[in-house]
Amino acid sequence: MTKTTTSFYQSVQNYFDEAAIHTGLPEGLLGQIKICNAVYQMRFPVKIGNGVQVIEAYRVQHSHHRTPTKGGIRYSNHVNQEEVMALATLMTYKCAIVDVPFGGAKGGVKINPWEFTPGQLERITRRYTTELIRRNFIGPSIDVPAPDYGTGSREMAWIYDTYRTFHGDDIDAAGCVTGKPVSQNGIRGREEATGRGVFYGIREACSYKDDMKALGLKVGTEGKTMVVQGLGNVGAHTAKISQDEGGIVIVGISEVEGAIYKKSGIDIHDLIKFRKETGSILNYPGAESYDKKDRKSVMEFECDILVPAALENQITAENVKKVKAKIIAEAANGPVTSEAATVLQKGGRMVIPDVFLNAGGVTVSYFEWLKNLSHMRFGRMEKRFNQKQYDQVVGVVEKLTGKKVDKRDRQLIVRGADEVDLVRSGLEETMINSYNEIREVMKRKKKIKSLRNAAFVVAINKISSDYMALGIFP
């Protein structure tokens, strides 16, 4: 008999059940937190070429304990109701973990976006948005989509424009979707946000001497080796920021066309340039190449940190024993099945879970939504004021000491924060605080053996307190 892999949705439910027992909360309340509140399945026709194609699509709102609900829209051939339910469920816990005041949601359109022209994609996106508007499944205070696998700022701009066409009188219309281009009421730093958050999460995890010692690793990120599966938005930014700001050495990368490994390190910027020029990462100078059919061997590459940054169910009961990395950093949603996660935990590996690690995207989406509701760019009010004050402080220091501050130092000190500085700083604060909250729960409760288990406990407790405040549950 062939062994079936635990489904993605089942994995998420397993993680919930494993955490729920540590919370001591009543069953009814746990049941309410666990289930999906609303599932909207749709089929709509779109003119493609000379014919008409019927498109299958979904929007799932997992939890209304806080509104709006929030979560990306995925364009992929693998989309199905269970997958979208799993992703929406993860969004609820993710938002709770990083204190973003939204319920979880997710959308999916069952298409391979790379098979369609931009014009066709625009028609599909606008039609999907119209369906959401008709059912009241989108709006700045209802449900706010964002990019996910297969979508980006372009699609978000179409969604925003479609929404505005129907709701021209809504002064907050820009808050109906996040991840928009900066010129279309987006926010600086949103595109890199998930990858940047992944780096901050990894850096925080690596900052604890004892935790690193238990893995046989040195403290800090400098010199650690990393393998990244998938060079999409999340994978590429994670790799770039880890290399540039963390001194991490990228030794392996995989993409649709295959995988490469180079023990001495791959300069990620150079590799991205190489792929642009040749159309492939394969045959990158000095690297071993594995073609398309062997690309999954990326999971088995020798490294300290493995970053699955593509889709779910990549590390399963079948291949988990071959994983050599000490730290598995879940940049994608659900890359490790619950069965495989148990094996990794028992084997003493550290898995930094998706519900925390990739929450940088939704965190900066929250900042974008706030910007849209306030109708003003972050930093606009205080930047110059701060600059003048810092300048005065430097002047006083110079007067008191009788020494002149170096011109470069002065420039650095007196600089007021721009929007992107504030976004990065807010993201860094969020990732550091959330990691420590999770880690402390794990250290405090002996029975909690993994960061994921702790993260789910944190999430369930936070969500339950919202329900408790309503007095519905005893």
187 binds ligand GLU (CB under 6 A): no
Q: Rounded to the nearest whole angstrom, what is the least distance from the CB of residue 30 to ligand GLU in the complex?
A: 23
Binding-site member from 30, 124, 133, 146 for ligand GLU (CB under 6 A): 146
Phi, psi (rounded to 5 degrees) for 221:
-95, -25
196 binds ligand GLU (CB under 6 A): no
Distances (CA, A) of 310 to 139, 230, 331, 412, 432: 28, 5, 8, 38, 24
What is the side-by-side strand order in the sheet with 249-255?
A: 288-291, 258-261, 249-255, 225-229, 305-308, 327-329, 350-352
User: What string marks each residue from 68 to 97 as x (binds ligand GLU by CB under 6 A) or -?
Assistant: --xxx-------------------------
Comparing C-alpha atoms, which of 260, 330, 331, 268 is closest to residue 301?
260
365 binds ligand GLU (CB under 6 A): yes
362 binds ligand GLU (CB under 6 A): yes
Biggest CA-to-CA distance, the chain: 83
Phi, psi (rounded to 5 degrees) for 25:
-85, 155
Q: Which is nearer to ligand GLU, 148 or 419 (CB)?
A: 148
Is residue 252 within 8 A of residue 227, CB to CB? The reply is: yes
Total of residues contacting ligand GLU (CB under 6 A): 11
Q: Rounded to the nearest whole angstrom, what is the least distance from the CB of residue 61 to ligand GLU in the complex?
A: 13
Q: Residue 317 is encoded by which pair of tokens? A: 């009961």
**Pairing of the two strands 350-352 and 327-329:** parallel
Catalytic residue flag (residue 443): no
Selected catalytic residue, list 106, 110, 180, 371: 106
CA distance 377 to 434: 26
Our measurement of the distance from residue 63's CA atom to the centroid of its chain's CA atoms, rounded to an integer in Å, reads 19
Q: Which run of H or of E encompasses 362?
A: helix 360-374
Binding-site member from 358, 372, 453, 464 for ligand GLU (CB under 6 A): 358
185 binds ligand GLU (CB under 6 A): no
Q: Rounded to the nearest whole angstrom, what is the least distance from the CB of residue 66 to ligand GLU in the complex?
A: 13
In degrees, rounded to 5, the angle at the alpha carbon of residue 240 between the alpha carbons of residues 301 and 367 is 120
Residue with structure tokens 């180079």? 262
Q: Which is nearer to ligand GLU, 148 or 155 (CB)?
A: 148
Instruction: Characterise 348 by phi-psi region: left (phi > 0), alpha (psi -120 to 50), beta (else).
Output: left
Which residues in 233-292 contact ligand GLU (CB under 6 A)?
none
Q: Rounded to the nearest whole angstrom, what is the least distance from the CB of residue 148 to ligand GLU in the complex?
A: 4
Q: Segment contacting ligand GLU (CB under 6 A): 14-22, 121-129, 247-255, 359-367? A: 359-367
Q: Rounded to the nearest whole angstrom, what is the least distance from the CB of residue 210 to ligand GLU in the complex?
A: 30
User: What string marks each residue from 314 to 343 as x (binds ligand GLU by CB under 6 A) or -?
Assistant: -------------------x----------
Q: Rounded to the nearest whole angstrom, what is the least distance from the CB of residue 150 to ligand GLU in the complex?
A: 11
Query: What sign does the CA torsion over 294, 77, 229, 332 have?
Result: negative
Q: Which is nearer to ligand GLU, 72 or 252 (CB)?
A: 72
Question: Up-side HSE of residue 313: CA atoms within 13 Å toward CB?
Answer: 14
Residues belonging to the active site: 106
| Chain residues that interact with ligand GLU, rule: CB under 6 A | 70-72, 146, 148, 178, 333, 358, 361-362, 365
